[in-house]
Amino acid sequence: MSGYNLQVKTAGFNYRVLIEENGLSRVGKSLRLLFPSTRTLLISDRTVYNLYGEVVLQSLVEQGWQVEVLSIEPGEQSKTLDQAARLYDAAVEAGLDRNSPVIALGGGVPGDLAGFVAATYLRGVPLVMLPTSLLAQVDSSVGGKVAVNHPRGKNLIGAIYPPGIVIIDPLVLKSLPGDQFQAGLAEVLKYGIVVDSSFFYWLEKHIIELLKAEPSALAGAISGSVKAKAAVVEQDEYENNYRRVLNFGHTIGHALEAATNYNYYLHGEAVLIGMFAAVDMAETLAVLNDKQGGRIRNLLDQILLKKPPAGLTAEAVIDKLRQDKKRREDDLIFVLPKEIGEAAIMPVNDRVLIKEVIENYLNKH
């Protein structure tokens, strides 16, 4: 497989996204060329560190880096200000200066947390993303969203703080559990549906290879996703408007996650259900024609749909929708596909329709 060397260029930042097999064993060298420092803080979670920590550490040490390592407990409960405080202590202990990178090795949780620390320590030190889940590779490692949670809501405390470099090793996906892989694929399909029609057609052609995790298809899907995300972020880094297309499937997806206390659905599983619901809505509201809607559904159908938990009601989901932080006054904002590769960001007030599309999912099982 040949690798990909992509660029993300926004008004204030310009960074590379490298997609290459065994990229983790070359991290030390890539960073040596970029940052005039000898010190770094490597942040990971225990599960990922046990698998890949040694490879990254060795590549850093070989290139003369002095590395302080901090492993957090895996899981969303680690994304707190208390954990960030521990990491600031470690950054002080490690003697990081303004040029010393903070490295995030892992999925969305280490990425968001380490990113938040990098954004704030010394008013900002370089951030290096080494994403190891498919979701982190195609979404959270690119675009600069970093955050910790507040007891009242996910990602309530955060910043837009772009990384200095992202290094993606597709081979690490071999150790990713199957449900997480499928959930990550849902976000890959999202880019084809609402951002890039030619990527959508590519995905239609390669979905079977992708589901088998064939390496060249995987690298193509990661690169297509990163290119699509970069195109959106380059236009609207601070999510004033267009970047909200990336929330396709997320309005109902977030409500499903919240209604099940964030412990039933993986993020991508809930987003997949939300994408089906948004396609149903777009067709009913005549934003999308049935032919294109059918084609989108066929692609989404390739990914396993998670059944609802016993007892989940449309009312419970709607209740959480109302608390969605993207709510504008009384309107709920949805991202609805208009045609393959393009979406409308629009308020939807039709409560009967919203209930109907949620029930479509709940009654399927």
Exposure on the CB side of residue 358, measured as CA atoms within 13 A = 23
Rounded Cα–Cα distance for residues 253 and 256 (Å): 5
Provide CB contacts within 8 A for 236, sequence distance 6+: 242, 243
Whether 150 is catalytic: no
Element (H, E) at 242: none
Whether 204 is catalytic: no
Q: 154 or 243, CB closer to ligand GLY? A: 243
Identity of the residue numbered 54: E
Judged by CB under 6 A, the residue of 154, 190, 227, 243 near ligand GLY is 243
Q: Residue 125: helix, strand or coil by DSSP? A: coil
Q: Can you give the length of the chain in residues?
A: 365
Q: In 3D, which of 4, 45, 2 has the Cα closest to residue 167? A: 4
Whether 244 is catalytic: no
Shortest reach from residue 203's CB to ligand GLY, in Å: 18
Shortest reach from residue 6's CB to ligand GLY, in Å: 16
Active-site position among 20, 68, 79, 145:
145
Active-site position among 154, 190, 227, 254:
254
Whether 229 is catalytic: yes
Q: Is residue 154 involved in binding ligand GLY (CB under 6 A)?
A: no
245-264 footprint of ligand GLY as x/- string (CB under 6 A) = -x------------------
Q: Is residue 145 involved in binding ligand GLY (CB under 6 A)?
A: yes
Q: 139 or 280, CB closer to ligand GLY? A: 139
Whether 239 is catalytic: yes
Active-site position among 229, 257, 269, 306:
229
Rounded Cα–Cα distance for residues 139 and 145 (Å): 10
Identity of the residue numbered 125: V
Active-site position among 239, 342, 356, 359:
239
Active-site position among 79, 154, 227, 267:
267
**Six-digit token string for 142:** 């690119």
Shortest reach from residue 274's CB to ligand GLY, in Å: 13
The answer to whether the beta carbons of residues 131 and 137 sit under 8 Å apart is yes
Whether 365 is catalytic: no
Instruction: Tell whether the torsion through CA atoms of 347, 350, 353 and 359 is positive or negative.
Output: positive
Q: Is residue 143 involved in binding ligand GLY (CB under 6 A)?
A: yes
Q: 104 or 246, CB closer to ligand GLY? A: 246
Active-site position among 190, 243, 257, 283:
243
Q: 139 or 269, CB closer to ligand GLY? A: 139
Q: Parallel, antiparallel, or unpaired: how do β-strands 39-45 and 332-339 relate?
A: unpaired
Show the beta-strand stretches assigned E in 153-263.
Answer: 153-160, 165-168
C-alpha pair distances (Å), 29 with each of 58, 204, 294:
11, 37, 47
100-139 footprint of ligand GLY as x/- string (CB under 6 A) = ---------------------------------------x
Identify residues 313-342 at the interface with ligand GLY (CB under 6 A).
none
Active-site position among 20, 79, 149, 187:
187
Q: φ and ψ at 128, to 5 degrees? A: -120, 125
**In the bound complex, which residue of the shown chain has the CB atom lying closest to ligand GLY?**
246
Whether 247 is catalytic: yes
Instruction: Tell whether the torsion through CA atoms of 121, 127, 131 and 136 is positive or negative.
Output: positive
Q: 227 or 243, CB closer to ligand GLY? A: 243
Render the burial of 203-230: b for 16+ CB within 10 Å, e for the rest: beebbeebeebeeebbbbbbbbbbbbbb
Q: 126 or 143, CB closer to ligand GLY? A: 143
Q: Is residue 23 involved in binding ligand GLY (CB under 6 A)?
A: no
| Residues annotated catalytic, as ranges | 123, 145, 187, 229, 239, 243, 247, 250, 254, 267
What residues line the site for ligand GLY (CB under 6 A)?
139, 143, 145, 243, 246
